[in-house]
Structure 1
């Protein structure tokens, strides 16, 4: 009996000791529990826990589990959350610089080119300095696919947007679309599906093809328009206290896991969009339209107008604008 008690006490001591250095993080994502992004985050969290022998333990919470998408920074500062996987554009009303960081509109031809700004153009360092002002650390940007506009009417050019009744969520993308003449309406995602059915809306600015199809947008909208009007950034970030509590080795493992998840999502989300496009074309009769080079140039010029206005809102916002423009010049997009 004495030996058994001794062994139990020893085993308990080992378990307690193994958890002493553990850092637990409650992190909320921006989409629901069944979204591919949420599932990828859960898989990343499990791998990271294994790779750090339990020292980094992330609890992944789906969008809205604790607070709304636009409230997660406040929740992190108040201790309700420890981190987030989200889009900076949700905080455009809080900080113009986060709005500019969160959506590069038509500045770049695709997300992969834009994401080079983070790795080659000093964007990651600039973004981390901005997040540090909120006592947060940006771990890494995460791939998000090109967004498309489900529409009941054909939109083949910037000029075709004039007078189109469109749902838009606010921020820089809404600013760009309004400059093109679209008649914007602010409403929730669920409401916009009904509004498309009743004729209140002609089109909606929402998400990528797979999400648009899954949400039923193309039950009424027989066009999907790649206007490159919005090129959202998503990211993973944590409170600075939690980040500094990690060892240097675990910080490196966290960042590596985040970047690996981003690379995996580029494949997963691209495959899902391709499959959704095939389904929409074959089963729903949807026609896919992409703006040509001339209209891409027009939208890029309008993006510069939007940047001029938003950059004027704060020094931080202007710094993000200037950094993008400098990088674009080096790759021939000026």
Structure 2
């Protein structure tokens, strides 16, 4: 590690002199005090040393500079912030293709599948082309976790969800749940606990066990809905975050620093994911100690969910040419025998 640090530092020295530091202000969507923000803050603080003082990432928690997600998007486009660490799905209303840049109902559901699509099958390059139209540069995905549902009553089948009022993130996820008789509402993360506490909603999706326990969900719900064994979530199993930066700021960065940032995003993605998985295991023991129970949907439920989801995939893919291009990459991958989630019969007539 010491040798690596020395070599890394040497990369950014010229004739014995370091360049003047560039400082980027980067806001995360993680709330201060959560494991997600703690990890993000630590990573940002490491960049100065790794760049030999040439690049400084100044981290900010959710709502500290930009008050909401719309403001965050605009703040980075306009250069008020140089970067953001959002959940990629947040931009489905602004960039329709982004609904396919993080997991969606019954689509690719393993973290390695998403890394394969981004880094081996051309999806990263296509994503960057799309984001440049908005004055943004998509540096890379950051693996996070599955999203899970906490409920006041047990959900042992898709039929059990009929008539429930549930907080979900909107977009494609909401549309699929509505197919099963769920009344969906959209709420920011900070409003979920009071809504569950007051009983204005019956259930809520949010992130994974580690963060949800920190937010107190065990105090206001009794059940956690998972998919079949080995599947925490059938609707958002690989909820990706990313690092996206202002395009002008990126273009003004020395190419060697650009390469460092790309490398560090890939490294941070693994650290972020693995740390949260460890915390998830610990959190599930805490949920059980608080009296929460896990309920599971069946493999048959999983297949029924996918059949309802497929037409909705196509509706979103047809919103614009960019969404279509990303979805076609993923459809080819899901139909490949190495994955085998979809066959010709599934998409007949689509």
Q: TM-score, normalised by structure 1?
A: 0.88
Q: Secondary structure at the match of 2:145?
A: coil
Q: What are the superposed Cα offsets for residues 256-277 of structure 1, whole Å, 9 maximum, x if unpaired?
A: 1111111111211001111110
Rounded to whole Å, the distance in 2 between the matches of 1:187 and 1:250 is 38
Q: Secondary structure at the match of 1:77?
A: helix
Residue 110 to residue 299, structure 1, CA distance change in 2 (3 Å): farther
Q: Which residue of 2 aligns with 1:251?
A: 258
Contact 1:139 1:255 in 2 (8 A): yes
Shift of 1:86: 0.7
Q: How many residues align?
A: 318
Q: Secondary structure at the match of 1:84?
A: strand
Contact 1:23 1:245 in 2 (8 A): no
Q: Which residue of 2 aligns with 1:23?
A: 22
Contact 1:146 1:228 in 2 (8 A): no
Shift of 1:84: 0.7
**For residues 143-222 of structure 1, what are the structure 2 equivalents within 5 Å?**
143-222=143-222
Residue 46 to residue 120, structure 1, CA distance change in 2 (3 Å): same
Rounded to whole Å, the distance in 2 between the matches of 1:175 and 1:276 is 30
Q: Which residue of 2 aligns with 1:301?
A: 307
Rounded to whole Å, the distance in 2 between the matches of 1:78 and 1:248 is 22
Shift of 1:145: 0.6
Q: Which residue of 2 aligns with 1:141?
A: 141
Rounded to whole Å, the distance in 1 between the matches of 2:20 and 2:194 is 51
Identify the range of structure 1 (311-320 vs 266-275) with the bigger mean alpha-carbon deviation: 311-320
Shift of 1:120: 2.7
Rounded to whole Å, the distance in 2 between the matches of 1:73 and 1:56 is 22
Q: What are the superposed Cα offsets for residues 49-74 of structure 1, whole Å, 9 maximum, x if unpaired?
A: 11211111111111111111232221
Q: What are the superposed Cα offsets for residues 230-260 of structure 1, whole Å, 9 maximum, x if unpaired?
A: 2422100111222122222211111111111
**For residues 217-228 of structure 1, what are the structure 2 equivalents within 5 Å?**
217-226=217-226, 227-228=233-234
**For residues 305-316 of structure 1, what are the structure 2 equivalents within 5 Å?**
305-316=311-322
Q: CA RMSD in A?
A: 2.1
**For residues 11-90 of structure 1, what are the structure 2 equivalents within 5 Å?**
20-67=19-66, 68-90=68-90
Contact 2:145 2:240 in 1 (8 A): no
Shift of 1:42: 2.3
Shift of 1:18: 5.8
Contact 2:170 2:185 in 1 (8 A): no
Rounded to whole Å, the distance in 1 between the matches of 2:299 and 2:43 is 38
Q: Which residue of 2 aligns with 1:333?
A: 341
Contact 1:111 1:144 in 2 (8 A): no
Identify the range of structure 1 (190-199 vs 29-38) with the bigger mean alpha-carbon deviation: 190-199
Q: Which residue of 1 aligns with 2:123?
A: 123
Rounded to whole Å, the distance in 2 between the matches of 1:315 and 1:258 is 28
Q: Secondary structure at the match of 1:144?
A: strand
Rounded to whole Å, the distance in 2 between the matches of 1:198 and 1:240 is 44
Residue 121 of structure 2 corresponds to residue 114 of structure 1 = no
Larger helix percent: 1
Q: Which residue of 2 aligns with 1:273?
A: 280
